[in-house]
Amino acid sequence: MFDLLLTNGLVVTPSGAHPLDIGISRGKIVSLRATGLGSPDEALRVVDLRGQLVVPGGVDPHVHTNSVLPTAAESGIKCFGPDRVSEGAIYGGTTTLVDFAHWQPGDELADSFKRKSAEWEGNTYTDYALHGTFKEPEIPFEVLEQIPDAVAAGHGSYKVWMTNTTPTRPKQKTDLGNMWGLMEQTAAAGAMLAVHAEDDDIVMYAYKKLQHQGKTGLEYMHHAHNNLSEKLSFQRAITLAEHVGAPIYLMHVSAREGVDAIREARGKGQPVYGEILPHYAYFTAEDYRQENGAIYHTYPSLKSADDRDSMWESLLDGSLSTLATDGVCTDLEVKTRGRTILDATGGHAGVEMRMAVAYTEGVAKRNLDLTRFVDITSANAAKILGLYPHKGAIAIGSDADLAVLDTTVDRRITSADLHEADYTPWEGYRVAAWPSMTVLRGQVIVEDRQLQAGPEGTLLEQHVSSDVRNRPAC
Ligand SMILES: [Zn+2]
Ligand SMILES: [Zn+2]
C-alpha cells in the first residue's frame, strides 16, 4: 500500500519524460510504472495529475537568510529568514534551499554550521543544506585543518569571496594565497568550493574612477562590476583550481567572458561548474534606469544584451550547469533604499519564480529539453553539491520531492500571487507554467496554492561524488 499515488502526470525522469504513475511510501519514491497499470486501491491517497508536468522538486543552490544587509549596516536590517524564503520556495516548486554558514574568527568550524542550522530548524518548509562560508582575509591553518572532519560530517561545500564587492562594505575578500590553502583542503577532503569571483583591484579602481567622474548612479553599476573583472577573476580562480586539482563552482556568472572561461576549462576536462541567475538571463544593465531599478540588481551586476544572451546559449549547450537565485528577500522599501553604486542592496526576491521562469524562458521560448530543464533547476545543483540522487531525481529510492507544474496556463504574475516579499522583479511577467502542487519527502506541502503542512524541513548531508569532483560531470 502506497501512502500516495500520483497518476497520469507527464513525469521527467533521468531517462526522459514519460506518462508514469509515481508510488510513494515513507517519504521515498518506491514505484514508477506506465500510467494505467495499477489500481487506485493500492494507495491511501490517489491524485490524478492528468495534463500536468511532474519534475523533481527544485534545488536552489544559493539563497541568503537573516543576513545583515551591508548597506543598511547601521540600522542592522536583515533580509528575511528561512520561514519566509522557504515558504516562497515551496509555493514555487522548490524543495531544497542551500544557504551559507559563516565562519567567524574564534569559531570551531562546526560551530558555524550549528549556529546557522539553529536558525533553520523548525522554521523551514523545504529541506536545506549549508555552504561553509569564509568572509575573512585570512583563514587560520587550525580552521583549514578542521575541514576534513566537517566534510565527513556531511558539510560538503564551502564558499569564498575574491572581492570586497564595494568600497563601503565590511571586508570579506580572501586573498589568492589563502584561497589556495582553502582549495587544497576542500579538494583533499572531497568538497566543492564555491567562488564569488570578481577582480578586487579592477572593481575598486573602477569605483574610484566613477566617483571621481561623479558617475555614482545605479545605471553605472556594470562599469564598476565589469566584464574585465569577470574575465580576470574567473581565469585566476580556474588556474588556481587547475594547479590544485580542485573542483570549483563559480557562482552568479554574469558576463560572456565568464561563460567563455568556464567553457574552455571544461573543454580541457577540468571540473568547473557555473551558476546562472534567472534575472541575468533576462534583464540587462539598461533596466537599472527603470524606476526602482534597484530591484533588478544582484552583485556582480546586470550587463549587456550580448552577455544576457550568452547565458541562454550556455544553458542550452551545457557549458553552465545551474540556475540559482542568490535570493536576498526583503520588502521593496528596504530593497530600494540604496540607489547608487555605493549603497545598492544585492540579491532580491526571486526564489518563488525560479521554476516558472526557467520553464517559460527555457522550455516554452527556447525549446529546452525537459530533462535539461530538470538539470538546471534541480539535478545539477544536487550533483554539484552532493545531494544527488536523494534530491534532484525522480527515481526509485529517491526522496519523494516533487514539483507539479500546470503547463496549460498563460497568465501574468503580480506580487500578490507570491509569498516571499511585497514586490517582485517579475511583476507582470507572463508564465507558461505555474506550480499546482509541491511534495516534500512524500508529504503534500502546497496544493491549489494553499499550504497544507507545517515547516518540517531538515538539514541535509552533502557528499560530492568523485565523478563530479574529477571531471565536468554535469
Ligand atoms: Zn556572491
Ligand atoms: Zn549570494
Grid coordinates of 188: 583533499
Q: Which helix (H) or strand (E) holds 31?
A: strand 28-34
Q: Give a yes or no: residue 35 inside a domain.
A: yes
Question: pLDDT digits over 221-234, tens only?
Answer: 999 999 999 999 99
Do residue 86 and residue 12 come from a single domain? no
Smallest-distance ligand from the CA of 300:
1
Q: How far apart are CA 88 and CA 420, in angstroms?
A: 5
Residue 260 to residue 310: CA distance in whole angstroms: 9
Q: Rounded CA gap, 182 and 174, in Å?
A: 10
CB atoms within 10 A of CB 449: 12
Clarify whether residues 9 and 90 are in a common domain.
no
Report the pLDDT value the prediction gives residue 10, as an integer from 0 to 100. 98
Ligand with smallest separation from the Cα of 163: 1
DSSP state, 399? B
How far is 465 from 474, CA to CA, in rounded Å?
12
Is 401 inside any structural domain? yes
Distance CA(15)–CA(389), nearest Å, equals 14
Residue 268 has pLDDT above 60, yes or no: yes
Task: State the average pLDDT for the chain.
Answer: 96
Q: Classify burial at 98, counting beta carbons within 10 Å of its beta carbon; exposed 0-12, middle 13-18, buried 19 or more.
A: buried
The closest ligand to the CA of 63 turns out to be 2
Mean pLDDT value of segment 150-167: 97
Distance 267 CA to ligand 1 centre (A): 25
* Spacing, Cα 439 to ligand 1 middle (Å): 29
> Which H or E run includes 462?
none
Question: What is the distance in A from the centroid of ligand 1 to the CA of 215?
Answer: 24
Cell digits for 179? 584561497
Q: Is residue 74 part of a domain?
A: yes
Q: Is the pLDDT of residue 462 over 80?
A: yes
Task: Dump pLDDT digits (tens) for 163-222.
Answer: 999 998 888 999 999 999 999 999 999 999 999 999 999 999 999 999 999 999 999 999
Instruction: Report how far ligand 2's centroid is from the alpha carbon of 62 (Å).
Output: 6
In this predicted structure, what is the pLDDT of residue 39?
A: 74
**Looking only at Cα atoms, what is the longest distance across the chain?**
74
* CB neighbour list of residue 48: distance below 8 Å, 6 or more residues apart: 7, 8
Is 473 a member of any domain? no
Residues 150 and 220 in one domain: yes
What is the domain-level CATH number for residue 31? 2.30.40.10
Q: What is the pLDDT of residue 130?
A: 98
Confidence of residue 76 (pLDDT cuts 50, 70, 90): confident
Strand partners, 60: 97
Check if the beta carbon of residue 146 is closer than 8 Å to that of residue 155. no
Distance between Cα 273 and ligand 1 center (Å) = 15
Task: Please report which ligand is nearest the Cα atom of 233.
Answer: 1
* 3-state class (DSSP) for residue 244: helix
Looking at the CA of 194, which ligand is closest? Answer: 1
Domain stop point among 338, 366, 390: 390
CA of 163 to the centre of ligand 1 (A): 9
**Beta carbons of 451 and 442 less than 8 angstroms apart:** no
Report the C-alpha dihedral over residues 391, 458, 422, 131, rounded to 10 degrees: -70
* 112 CA to centre of own chain: 21
Q: How far does residue 326's CA lie from ligand 2's centre (Å)?
A: 5
Question: What range defines the domain where residue 194 resides?
Answer: 58-390
Instruction: Looking at the structure, tell me whether residues 365 and 401 fall in a common domain.
Output: no
CATH number of the domain residue 309 falls in: 3.20.20.140
Q: Are residues 289 and 344 in the same domain?
A: yes
Rounded percentage of the chain residues whose pLDDT exceeds 70: 99
296 plus 368 within the same structural domain: yes
Residue 469 within any structural domain of the chain: no
Q: Which residues 6+ apart lie within 8 Å of 226 measured at CB?
A: 202, 203, 206
% residues pLDDT > 90 (the chain): 93
- Is 468 a member of any domain? no
C-alpha cell of residue 307: 552577455
Q: Report the distance separating Cα 278 and Cα 58, nearest Å.
A: 14
Stretch 50-70: mean pLDDT, rounded? 95
- Tell me phi and psi for residue 149, to 5 degrees: -65, -40
Q: What confidence score (pLDDT) does residue 316 get?
A: 92
The whole-number pLDDT of residue 41 equals: 78
Claim to verify: residue 242 and residue 173 sit in the same structural domain = yes
More confident residue, 337 or 457: 457
Identify the three-state secondary structure at position 175. coil
Question: Would you say residue 456 lies in a domain?
Answer: no
Residue 161's contacts (CB-CB under 8 Å, 6 or more residues apart) are 134, 135, 172, 173, 174, 195, 196
pLDDT value of position 292: 94
pLDDT at 407 over 90: yes
- Nearest Cα to Cα of residue 2 among 36, 35, 27: 27
Specify whether 337 is located in the same domain as 400: no
Q: Which helix (H) or strand (E) holds 297?
A: none
Q: What is the domain count for the chain?
A: 2
Do 166 and 47 fall within a single domain?
no
Of the pLDDT bands very low, low, confident and very high (cuts 50, 70, 90), residue 37 is confident
Q: In the predicted model, what is the mean pLDDT of residues 303-321?
A: 96
Bridge partners for 194 per DSSP: 159, 249
Cβ partners under 8 Å of residue 41, min gap 6? none
The answer to whether position 336 is within a domain reads yes
Cα separation, 371 vs 393, whole angstroms: 10
Strand runs labelled E in 314-419: 322-323, 327-328, 402-406, 411-412
pLDDT beyond 90 at 72? no
Q: Is 3 exposed, middle or buried (0-12, 13-18, 19+ CB in 10 A)?
A: middle
Whether residues 407 and 419 fall in one domain: yes
Same domain, yes or no: 52 and 125: no
Closest ligand to C-alpha of residue 225 is: 1
Give the ligand at the shortest distance from the Cα of 131: 2
Q: Give 267 Cα–ligand 2 centroid separation in angstroms.
A: 27
Contacts of 87 (CB under 8 A, 6+ apart): 125, 419, 420, 451
> Do 328 and 424 lie in a common domain?
no
**Is residue 71 scored above 70 in pLDDT?**
no
Task: Give the pLDDT confidence of 430-446 residue by residue, as tens digits.
Answer: 999 999 999 999 999 99
Per the DSSP assignment, residues forming a β-bridge with 161 are 196
Closest ligand to 67 CA?
Answer: 2
Residue finishing a domain among 355, 370, 390: 390
- Nearest ligand to the CA atom of 196: 1
Hey, which residues does 4 pair with through a beta bridge? Answer: 24
Which amino acid is located at 52 in the chain? Q
